[in-house]
Amino acid sequence: MEPLTRQEFLLQKNFYLRKIAEGAVFIYPTDTIYGIGCDATNFSAIERIRLLKKRPMAPFSVIAPSRQWIRENCMIDERHTPWLEKLPGPYTLILTLQNRDAVASNLNPEKDTIGVRIPALWISTMVRQLGVPLVTTSVNVSGQGYMSSMDDLDPDIKKAVDFIIYDGEKKGNPSAIVDLTTPEAAVTER
């Protein structure tokens, strides 16, 4: 499968948004590294990603369609506001999920928390247009190096995804994790 450029994807955006809504699993750029994702409300698509990453139970984060979606579906108080204002940006905020129906039950099995991101990149506009959160996790088999260019893409993952949006080499690191479920925000740089 030949990867799509951002321009090719955007020219056929409605076609690909429909594919995502139908359960497509795909690779896409973020503001940090490449992610693999799907509609975070689609149980079967999430299971496909779990199999590809060999990650049966670990939680996945999402790209939220908006800050408003985060406010409507997560427990937010005044200490979270400064962190929400940093989005879009290279942060994954760990929050308590208050609306369990906002994502599929297998996104974070047995957890009442969710990691939310809004990357500072055009992919966030696409997620906003999709209107549902998108699973976001690094493109790799769990425990192995993540994808920063097509040269790093695991061949088994490449064969198993429905499409790839390639936007050149990414030289960033995964987003910083900010755990807001504790009294003091715990920040983990990656």
- CATH of residue 81: 3.90.870.10
Confidence of residue 16 (pLDDT cuts 50, 70, 90): very high
93 touches 83 (CB < 8 A): yes
Q: Which residues pair with 53 in a beta bridge?
A: none
3 touches 165 (CB < 8 A): yes
d(CA 129, CA 97): 22
21 pLDDT higher than 80: yes
Strand order in the sheet with 91-96: 4-5, 163-166, 26-29, 34-37, 134-138, 61-63, 113-117, 91-96, 176-179, 186-188
pTM greater than 0.85 (yes/no): yes
Tens of pLDDT along 58-78?
899 999 999 999 999 999 988
In the chain, how many domains are there? Answer: 1
Full residue range of the structural domain in which residue 144 is found: 4-188
Which residue's entry shows tokens 């204002």?
85
- pLDDT at residue 57, rounded to an integer: 86
Helix axes 13-21, 123-130, angle to 10 degrees: 60
107 touches 38 (CB < 8 A): no
Tens of pLDDT along 106-145?
999 888 999 999 999 999 999 999 999 999 999 998 888 8
2 pLDDT higher than 70: yes
